[in-house]
């Protein structure tokens, strides 16, 4: 019983919100304005005894020609804000990695990878160039938040099982392969940013040369 009353109250509130929204809508405002014109025409004798029909017709016409209500799209953080979040995630990743033990070969490759990430995220013009490439930011964010932690975690878990049942390719070898793939991906991101800067320089050179000829 209480549930039914609560549901009825919620439905009543929702209906009230919809009615209020329509009252404040452009369609109602435009229709009301046209309806006022209809009342004026009725007072002037236009339409005779059918003046209510004229008012209703003008209201409906005004409501139909009014532009629809625009629902504002959701706002999301811009790329620069996202980069700040990625930078904070990278700090947490480094804290995590400082607590884990890795074999020398994988540890060396991971250190190279972390240095490359740090250089890309270092506040300044490099990070500005990175922020201008949403795809690069996405790739870096995915690697920092998902790929690197998963590589290290699965290595430690698989190594424990391998001690119980030896055989197959070693967890160390898999970890090295994974980190090599991530490093190659980071180098591609870096190369893409370098090419963008090179295109920018070439564009400016072309502009200056054309300006000089003119």
Cα 125 from Cα 121, distance rounded (Å): 10
Instruction: Decide if 15 is inside a domain.
Output: yes
- Average of per-residue pLDDT across 145-155: 95
Same domain, residue pair 33 and 121: no
Same domain, residue pair 51 and 110: no
Same domain, residue pair 104 and 157: yes
pLDDT at 99: 92
- Average of per-residue pLDDT across 118-141: 88
The DSSP call for residue 132 is: T
Q: Of 23, 38, 65, which closes a domain? A: 65
Same domain, residue pair 55 and 137: no
Same domain, residue pair 110 and 198: yes
Provide the 3-class DSSP secondary structure of residue 153. helix
Contact 189, 136 (CB under 8 A): yes
The DSSP call for residue 180 is: H
Instruction: Decide if 105 is inside a domain.
Output: yes
Cα 113 from Cα 92, distance rounded (Å): 15
Residue 45's domain spans which residues? 10-65
Task: Please tell me the total count of domains within the chain.
Answer: 2
Same domain, residue pair 44 and 119: no
Contact 29, 63 (CB under 8 A): no
Instruction: Please indicate whether residue 138 or residue 52 has the higher confidence score (pLDDT).
Output: 138
Cα 94 from Cα 82, distance rounded (Å): 19
Of the pLDDT bands very low, low, confident and very high (cuts 50, 70, 90), residue 46 is: low
Instruction: Decide if 201 is inside a domain.
Output: yes
Q: Which long-range contacts (CB under 8 A, 24 or more apart) does 114-122 make?
A: 116/183, 116/186, 116/187, 116/190, 117/90, 117/143, 117/144, 117/186, 118/90, 120/186, 120/189, 120/190, 120/193, 121/83, 121/86, 121/87, 121/90
Contacts (Cβ under 8 Å, ≥6 apart) of 33: 62
């Amino acid at each position: 019983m209480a549930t039914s009353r609560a549901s009825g109250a919620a439905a009543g509130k929702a209906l009230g919100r919809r009615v209020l929204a329509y009252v404040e809508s452009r369609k109602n405002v435009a229709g009301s304005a046209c309806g006022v014109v209809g009342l004026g025409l009725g007072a002037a004798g236009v339409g005779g005894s059918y003046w209510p029909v004229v008012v209703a017709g003008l209201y409906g016409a005004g409501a139909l020609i009014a532009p629809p209500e625009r629902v504002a799209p959701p706002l999301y953080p811009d790329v620069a804000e996202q980069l700040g979040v990625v930078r904070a995630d990278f700090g947490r990743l480094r804290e995590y990695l400082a607590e884990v033990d890795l074999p020398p070969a994988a540890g060396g490759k991971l250190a190279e990878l972390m240095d490359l990430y740090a250089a890309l995220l270092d506040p300044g013009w490099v990070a500005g160039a990175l922020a201008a490439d949403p795809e690069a930011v996405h790739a870096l964010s995915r690697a920092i938040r998902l790929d690197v932690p998963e590589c290290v975690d699965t290595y430690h878990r698989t190594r424990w099982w391998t001690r119980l049942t030896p055989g197959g390719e070693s967890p160390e070898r898999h970890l090295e392969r994974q980190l090599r793939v991530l490093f190659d991906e980071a180098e591609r991101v870096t190369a893409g940013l370098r090419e963008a800067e090179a295109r920018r320089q070439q564009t400016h050179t072309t502009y200056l040369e054309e300006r000089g000829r003119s």
